[in-house]
Amino acid sequence: MPSSVSPFSLIDVPGGTPLLGHLSAFKHAPLETMSAWWRRHGDALRFRLGPKTLHLFSHPDLAEELFVQQADRFMKVYDPRRPTGLALVLGNGLVTSSGEVWKRHRRIIQPIFHRSRMAAMADRMAQVGEQRIAAWGHCGREPVNIADEMMQLTLEVISQTMFTTSMAQHINQLRHALRVSLKYAFDSLHNPLRLPAWMPTPRNREFRSVMQFMDGLIYGLLAERRRSEAKHDDLLDLLLQARDEETGAGLTDQELRDEALTIFAAGHGTTANALAWTWYLLATHPEAKARFHEEVERVLQGRTPNVDDLQHLPYTRAVFEESLRLYPPVPVLQRKAATKTTVGGLPLPEGALVFVGIYNLHRHPAFWTDPDRFLPERWLNGERPTARYAYLPFGAGPRACVGIHFASVEGPLLLALIGRRYDLQLAQEVVEPEFFVTLRPKGGIRMTLQPRRVPVVSSV
């Protein structure tokens, strides 16, 4: 519960200008700026972006209050009557909705992602992975952009698990449509000076055209599924069959469109970037890479991995967890106070906007030894950070990632599957993080794929 004496002090970030506040520094490099402010000024900060005042909290106790203890007092920032940011693309799906709508959808969708369904999904993931890396055999020794490759791979995984083969011929167009629409949405949220969406600018027109393409595709697919009796046993079938256990009602076509696009969008860019960063970290830490390859080789003996193998691959899982710590794909979470309240004893007015700095939490020296070092060993033997809410790659509380089991299988499974055949080596000097929808490597990462000399027995 909120306490009256605060162990935190709220610091106003210095240096804002009267009209724009801190907008120019923030807009130029949001993540670096928030990280630098936190290191310089502390765990509870206040700053301004144009007319908006924001808070930046970077302490596990503040995160726990916001996401868990006071979860019902903090909502998402999107207003379904005036969509901005991601809501422009995803509508009122799980990521962007709040209140009763979100509660009902979460009740309906959560069972679809239950741990018990992961074995079947893992087989599809492995199948897609094998097909995709079979094409790498033709790459020769030329470096590839591994961030792009991981994006394509996870896009194919989510397409196959969600829509079976129905999307196969549209995948490149879909990837383009998502890239254009998410960039538009992300820019709209962080640029209060943008031109309104109704103006016929080239950018607005392009946005509308890719949205029409995605809507047409999904509504077409829904109509086809409702017409035919065929079973696909994929996420879309599960969404169509899902019923609210309290009321027995399913989702309308508009709701299904929003949720399908939400799961599709939320379910691949995050994992793709996590994998890209993991290959980068392994390539720059030869000892960890050798240990990873040794484990994969010993456990799989050349087989394609399945969900049961993961329990015998603790180092591979630790590598993935450590990569999510250093480069969390969602480096900042945002909430709005639904009522006047206090967090960590700090008063917040109704409507207050709060960022929780996940990236900062993950590197907080009070809760991690050697916070900036890549040390997968810290996750072995069930060890956990000293504060439970210091590690939040999947968020926390009722709004934590609904795809956490999916991602926790997909990440290590694809690492093992690729690591068993290839040794990935860095082919560029500098790799910089960039916060753009997710935390991605700016411009990608060029790597060479050296085939490994191990017996390969495909079981898929």
Residues at the interface with ligand HEM (CB under 6 A): 94-95, 106, 262-263, 266-267, 270-271, 274, 329-330, 333, 393-395, 399, 401-403, 406-407, 411
Question: Least distance from C-beta 227 to ligand HEM, angstroms?
Answer: 26
Question: Least distance from C-beta 435 to ligand HEM, angstroms?
Answer: 13
Question: Least distance from C-beta 371 to ligand HEM, angstroms?
Answer: 19
Question: Least distance from C-beta 151 to ligand HEM, angstroms?
Answer: 13
Question: Least distance from C-beta 162 to ligand HEM, angstroms?
Answer: 8
User: In this complex, which beta carbon is closest to ligand HEM, that of residue 258 or of residue 423?
Assistant: 258
Measure the CA–CA gap between 293 and 372, rounded to whole angstroms. Answer: 23
User: In this complex, which beta carbon is closest to ligand HEM, that of residue 94 or of residue 313?
Assistant: 94
Measure the CA–CA gap between 441 and 210, rounded to whole angstroms. Answer: 25
For the chain, the first-to-last Cα distance in angstroms comes to 52
User: In this complex, which beta carbon is closest to ligand HEM, that of residue 316 or of residue 448?
Assistant: 316
Please state, as a whole number, how many other Cβ atoms lie within 10 Å of the Cβ of residue 28.
9
Measure the CA–CA gap between 104 and 352, rounded to whole angstroms. Answer: 25
CA angle 125, 170, 459 (to 5 degrees): 25
User: In this complex, which beta carbon is closest to ligand HEM, that of residue 88 or of residue 94?
Assistant: 94
β 346-348/44-49 pair status:
unpaired
Residue burial 307-322, b: 16+ Cβ < 10 Å; e: rest = bebbeebbbbbbbbbb
User: In this complex, which beta carbon is closest to ligand HEM, that of residue 182 or of residue 266?
Assistant: 266
User: In this complex, which beta carbon is closest to ligand HEM, that of residue 25 or of residue 66?
Assistant: 66
Measure the CA–CA gap between 243 and 108, rounded to whole angstroms. Answer: 6
Q: Which residue is nearest to ligand HEM (CB)?
A: 403
CB 376 within 8 A of CB 318: yes
Measure the CA–CA gap between 4 and 19, rounded to whole angstroms. Answer: 33
Question: Least distance from C-beta 327 to ligand HEM, angstroms?
Answer: 10
